[in-house]
Structure 1
Amino acid sequence: MDPMQTSHVKLLAFDFLSLTQTPTSDPNLFFRKNRPVSRVETLGIVVSRDLIPDKFLRFVIDDGTGCIPCIIWLNHFNSPYFARKNPSDVRVMADIANNQAMQIQLGVLARVRGKVTVFRGVLQITVLDAVVERDPNMEILHWLDCVKLARQCYNVKFKPAVATKSVVGEGSSSSVMR
């Protein structure tokens, strides 16, 4: 399995917005140059914020290459999805989501990690983790990281590890790896 599929892939907005989905693939799986992506990390300025209490916070991150819609769900106590989970766990998740939603304000530099999803035909990030960055240099560092990772990892064709053979000699219980 390609490690990009389960890692938070650092992307700039123009790369995020160019993710594609094949009709035959998993609906939660997207592709960047034929490499699978399901989780992303991005960083930028919050340019739009729409809070619906006890439901969600919808906001937009602008990193200079484009704008990425993001959503933090705040409906932990009235969602059927969370009804089957341990109530104390749900309370902790709700507190974390509410704290993150309070930090996300217009004009702040925010780092967002989450799942790539589609809502009404538009790509968005369903936020798992949002952090306000205090150092403005983090934006430049994120750009440099994205460019470096694209060149060295994301644009390189994935080569799965070659399986090793186990050979058992006659009359021996040891195995030799080749």
Structure 2
Amino acid sequence: MATCSSIMTYAKLLAAELLSVTVHPTTPPSFSLPRRTPSSISRAEILGIVVSLESKPRFLKFLLDDGTGCVPCILWLNPRLPPSDHDPTPAILRLQASRVRLGEQLRVRGRISVYRGTLQITVRDVLVERDPNMETFHRLECVRIAKRCYGLGKDDLGG
């Protein structure tokens, strides 16, 4: 269960929220959500349907649609060098890439990044959601967190 702690590893967001973040041109870039305190975020969790897919030897690029917008996601298949203890292994990366299929409902967690002026999620985890109710539960959880932690209502979230 999510709490209102200012130290939240992955912010549960709707696509509309993620796509509305303000990008601050620092190195590396920082991101903030409007009307929220604390507003700075670096990692996000979204849930949606894969509506576009592009596979290359070094990466897998796809779009997740949750009904409020489409979020570009990229899953790098080549681990960074030198890898840290927390980085997925090449075998885990291949397994995660195999889960991404058109029409599949996925829960994606990763780092928010910008590529050529476009926000995207650099994917860390991919989970297939088999329960069709999870999209509704995710949406309600995002609204509940926004209301409880930030004082926002459903109208502030595009709902």
TM-score, scaled relative to structure 1 = 0.75
List runs of 5+ in structure 2 lacking aligned partners: 153-159
Letter in 2 for 1:31: S
Number of positions where the alignment pairs a residue of Structure 1 with one of Structure 2: 146
**Partners of 1:4 and 1:122 in 2: CA distance:** 26
Equivalent position amino acid for 1:13 in 2:
A
**2:67 alignment partner in structure 1:** 64
Asked which structure has the greater CA Rg, the reply is: 1
2:127 matched residue in structure 1: 131
Equivalent position of 2:22 in the other structure: 20
2:156 aligned partner: none
Identify the residue that residue 48 of structure 2 maps to in structure 1: 44
- The equivalent residue for 1:95 is 91
Q: Structure 1: which 4+ aligned runs deviate by more than 4 Å?
A: 2-6, 89-92
d(CA) in 1 for partners of 2:138, 2:87? 32
1:56–1:75: 8 Å Cα contact kept in structure 2?
A: yes
- Looking at structure 1, the residues matched to 41 and 56 of structure 2 have their Cα atoms a distance apart, in angstroms, of 29
Cα root mean square deviation, aligned: 2.3
User: TM-score, normalised to structure 2's length?
Assistant: 0.83
Q: Which runs of 5+ in 1 are unaligned?
A: 157-178
Q: Secondary structure at the match of 1:70?
A: strand
Instruction: Give the Cα separation in 2 of the matches to 1:149 and 1:132.
Output: 23
One-letter amino acid of the structure 2 residue matched with residue 151 of structure 1 = K
Residues in 1 aligned to 2:147 and 2:88: alpha-carbon distance in whole angstroms: 39
Asked whether the equivalents of residues 56 and 71 of structure 1 are also in contact (C-alpha less than 8 Å), the reply is yes
Report the secondary structure of 1:21's partner residue: strand
Identity fraction in percent: 47
Provide, for residues 120-154 of structure 1, a one-character-per-residue CA deviation record: whole Å limited to 9, x for no partner. 00000000001010000000000000001111114
Matches within 5 A, 1:1-178: 3-4=5-6, 6-23=8-25, 25-33=26-34, 35-53=39-57, 55-76=58-79, 81-82=80-81, 84-85=82-83, 93-155=89-151
| Amino acid paired to 1:45 | I
